[in-house]
Amino acid sequence: MDMQVAPRWTDRDILIPNELEQRQIFHLLKKGSSWTRWNRELDYYRKWAEIAENSVREADNNNLLATHESHILYQHYVKILKGLAIHEEGVRRLRKGDRRVFLYSEDYAFFVRSWMPVSYWQTFRNKVNIGDIRGGEKTPYWEEFLKALNDLCDAGETGGFSGEPRDPDTPASLNYHLWHAVFLERLPYPDPLPELPKRPKKDVIIATGESVPFSGIWEPLDKDEDQLWGVMNYLHGETRVPTYRESYIDHSDERLGYGQDVIPVRWRLLWRDDRYEDGTISEEEKNYFFVCPEPEGPERMFKTDPLEYLKRHNLPNPFLVGARRHRGERVEGGEPCPRDGYWWSPANKSQGRIFRKGEIMPIITSREYAESYWLWGGETEKK
């Protein structure tokens, strides 16, 4: 697959999560790939299947099936039961530590195949909502059926944080964008929120196009340097290492305030997922909070457009008001340092060091760079 390599990151304000956001994302990735999350969704699947059964039985008793006056037929109920059985098997295997249940492989794909009847009824519901199909006035338990369907769909709130893309050429699922800036801080977390795990003693690094050796949470790196490039992702073993959709500040976009490019990257292992292989479930999973479809939870944040949310609540776009939520903040040589931290210049990377606020930034002459400028690399020096 041909792709354009993005310009040097020194020429961009690359958006990456801050330290707190990294901990929040790590927590959501673990929760989204956990047995607790998928077993919880299974409960909602069972409730939906139970209502479908009640519907077809009552419709049959009232001769609605023979006259085609009910939307839900026995054939639909059978497909829902098959989907439920596949989902149950996926949860059972995951409980034993088999993470192949997430794959799109024909031999596995349990959670993909179990969702097929759900997708059918999502499309059917949408056609009813826009008037393409008449409502289910004579379908027994129709409103209850739709509510159970909606609850099942909402119960998968963290699935997008750990799902495998269907197309192997699709970039990794997560990249830093407005949704994270708006909603991450509004979601519930354990108190205290756990720290990030210590990286393995020996770095495990893989590159776009290679094979992921095992499932876990991986950090994207610059293709040439060990510089954090964006948002960690859950990558699945036995899949191809994905590209990454980098995000960068772009104030010329007066709507979003940032742009994106798909680039090849290297991924460094942060945490290897070996849960459940010893037959136990961590105590940590008792502290997993879910907000959907419970009515008292935050308002559908996992499915809400952040721009619409900001408009509705009269809040500013953090990417358009000068908020610096990223590394890449720039200061010209000869100007005072705007804040304490590690600064480095693309004109001479070896001169990067800690500068204090107010200290005059050196002017470096370079044949490659006509301008002398410095970029903020974080609050502490890179090791």
pLDDT tens profile 312-356: 888 888 887 654 444 446 788 899 998 888 787 767 756 778 889
Segment of 55-59, 338-342, 363-367, 370-374 carrying the highest mean pLDDT: 55-59
Please tell me whether residues 253 and 124 are part of one structural domain: no
Given a contact cutoff of 8 angstroms between Cβ atoms, the answer to whether 141 and 58 are in contact is yes
Residue 139 lies in a domain: yes
pLDDT at 278: 95
Residue 27 lies in a domain: no
Residue 320 lies in a domain: no
Please tell me whether residues 194 and 236 are part of one structural domain: yes
Element spanning 167, H or E: none
Q: Would you call 317 helix, strand, or coil by DSSP?
A: coil
Residue 179 lies in a domain: yes
Q: What angle do CA 133, 135, 139 make, to 5 degrees?
A: 120
How many residues belong to the chain? Answer: 383
pLDDT for 118 beyond 80: yes
CA distances from 180 to 87, 186, 221, 247, 326 (A): 29, 10, 19, 12, 13
Beta bridge partners of 283: none
pLDDT at 67: 82
Q: Would you call 154 helix, strand, or coil by DSSP?
A: helix
Please tell me whether residues 120 and 232 are part of one structural domain: no
d(CA 92, CA 86): 10
Final residue before a domain boundary, out of 106, 136, 160:
160
Please tell me whether residues 52 and 175 are part of one structural domain: no
Residue 141 lies in a domain: yes
Given a contact cutoff of 8 angstroms between Cβ atoms, the answer to whether 209 and 240 are in contact is yes
Please tell me whether residues 167 and 305 are part of one structural domain: yes
Residue 68 lies in a domain: yes
Which structural domain range is residue 104 located in? 35-160
Please tell me whether residues 176 and 308 are part of one structural domain: yes
Q: What is the mean pLDDT of residues 370-382?
A: 63
pLDDT at 299: 57
pLDDT at 4: 30
Output 133 or 210, whichever has higher pLDDT: 210
Final residue before a domain boundary, out of 133, 160, 187:
160
pLDDT at 382: 45
Q: Is the pTM of this model over 0.85?
A: no
Segment of 143-147, 169-173, 331-335, 364-368 carrying the highest mean pLDDT: 143-147
Name the one residue in this structure whose structure tokens are 């994106």.
260
pLDDT for 135 beyond 90: no
Question: Comparing 47-61, 63-77, 242-256, 361-375, which segment has the lowest mean pLDDT?
Answer: 361-375
Q: What is the mean pLDDT of residues 187-192?
A: 88
d(CA 214, CA 206): 11
Q: What angle do CA 126, 129, 135 make, to 5 degrees?
A: 110
Query: How many domains are contained in the chain?
Result: 3
49 φ/ψ angles, rounded to the nearest 5 degrees: -65, -35
d(CA 273, CA 216): 5
Please tell me whether residues 104 and 222 are part of one structural domain: no
Q: What is the mean pLDDT of residues 281-308?
A: 81
**What percentage of the chain has pLDDT greater than the value 90?**
45
Strands (E), the chain: 205-207, 216-221, 233-235, 244-249, 258-263, 266-272, 330-332, 341-345, 348-355, 373-378
Please tell me whether residues 291 and 176 are part of one structural domain: yes
pLDDT at 35: 96
Please tell me whether residues 303 and 345 are part of one structural domain: no
pLDDT at 326: 43
d(CA 209, CA 241): 5
Which positions ≥6 away from 336 have C-beta within 8 Å? 357, 358, 359, 360, 361
Residue 323 lies in a domain: no
d(CA 383, CA 378): 12
Assign 381 a pLDDT band (cuts: 50, 70, 90).
low
The neighbour count for residue 267, using CB atoms within 10 Å, is: 26
Q: What is the mean pLDDT of residues 133-157?
A: 90
pLDDT at 285: 95
Count the alpha carbons within 13 Å of 114 in the hemisphere toward its beta carbon. Answer: 25
Please tell me whether residues 179 and 297 are part of one structural domain: yes
The neighbour count for residue 98, using CB atoms within 10 Å, is: 15
Please tell me whether residues 225 and 242 are part of one structural domain: yes
Q: Give pLDDT tens digits for 197-253.
A: 998 888 999 999 899 999 999 999 987 778 888 999 999 998 999 999 988 877 677
Q: Cα 177 vs. chain centroid, distance in angstroms?
A: 11
Please tell me whether residues 134 and 204 are part of one structural domain: no
Final residue before a domain boundary, out of 160, 179, 197:
160
Residue 319 lies in a domain: no
